[in-house]
Structure 1
């Protein structure tokens, strides 16, 4: 079984082969990536999630109120 030709490689395999040919080393910077900026967007993310949750609660409350008033909402 010889080397696969480019036609036989999948797109993912071709991309990985090209990256490795350009010097990519999988996991070489993993430890640094895990530490650097780990908590960078925590407060912003929490604000966005809270805002989304508030909108969802308001929507569900209005739907529930309409259902209880006898008006069924699809």
Structure 2
């Protein structure tokens, strides 16, 4: 049983093209995941900063309230 070499070349070419397309799709998905991860990290940093600012504001208000009630 002998398969013509042209058919073998065409089949291998199609398989290589399919593999290339799959790799490109996976590369795109991975890059999207990396970008989303960076966006989530930035969002988390902003939340932490906001939380710190709120805690600091609450502390300062408490200090001001204590100072005001002490002077009264």
TM-score, length basis structure 1: 0.43
Structure of higher CA gyration radius = 2
Return the structure number with greater relative CO, CA threshold 8 A, min gap 6.
1
Q: TM-score, normalised by structure 2?
A: 0.44
Task: Answer 1 or 2: which has greater helix percent.
Answer: 2
